[in-house]
Amino acid sequence: IKAEPLKVMISGAPASGKGTQCELITKKYDLVHIAAGDLLRAEVAAGTENGRRAKEYMEKGQLVPDEIVVTMVKERLLQPDSQEKGWLLDGYPRSSSQATALKGFGFQPDIFILLEVPEEILVERVVGRRLDPVTGKIYHLKYSPPETEEIAARLTQRFDDTEEKVKLRLLTHNKNVEAVLSMYGDITVRVDGTLSKEDVFTRIDAALRNLLGQRQASIDLK
Nearest approach, Cβ of residue 148 and ligand AP5 (Å): 17
> Nearer Cβ to ligand AP5, position 15 or 208?
15
- Residue with smallest beta-carbon separation from ligand AP5: 37
Distances (CA, A) of 91 to 10, 64, 215: 7, 12, 26
Q: Which residues bind ligand AP5 (CB under 6 A)?
A: 12, 14-20, 36-37, 40, 57-58, 61-64, 69, 91-92, 94, 98, 125, 128-129, 138-140, 143-144, 169, 196-197, 200
Nearest approach, Cβ of residue 26 and ligand AP5 (Å): 13
Q: How many CB atoms lie within 10 A of CB 204?
A: 22
State yes or no: is 52 an active-site residue.
no
Helix axes 66-78, 49-59, angle to 10 degrees: 120
State yes or no: is 18 an active-site residue.
yes
Give the residue from 130, 82, 119 showing the smallest Cα distance to 102: 82
> Nearer Cβ to ligand AP5, position 74 or 197?
197
> Nearer Cβ to ligand AP5, position 50 or 86?
50
State yes or no: is 203 an active-site residue.
no
Q: Of the listed 55, 94, 165, 203, which one is catalytic?
A: 94
State yes or no: is 53 an active-site residue.
no
Q: Of the listed 41, 76, 125, 129, which one is catalytic?
A: 129
Q: Strands 188-192 and 32-35, how do they pair? A: unpaired
Nearest approach, Cβ of residue 200 and ligand AP5 (Å): 5
> Nearer Cβ to ligand AP5, position 168 or 215?
168
Amino acid letter for position 87: W
Q: Are 101 and 71 in contact (CB under 8 A)?
A: no
Q: Are 78 and 71 in contact (CB under 8 A)?
A: no
Give the residue from 193, 187, 194 showing the smallest Cα distance to 214: 187
State yes or no: is 94 an active-site residue.
yes
Nearest approach, Cβ of residue 112 and ligand AP5 (Å): 14
> Nearer Cβ to ligand AP5, position 202 or 210?
202
Give the residue from 157, 170, 182 showing the smallest Cα distance to 14: 170
Nearest approach, Cβ of residue 143 and ligand AP5 (Å): 4
Beta bridge partners of 12: 115
Helix (H) or strand (E) holding 55: helix 49-59
Could you list the active site residues?
18, 94, 129, 158, 169
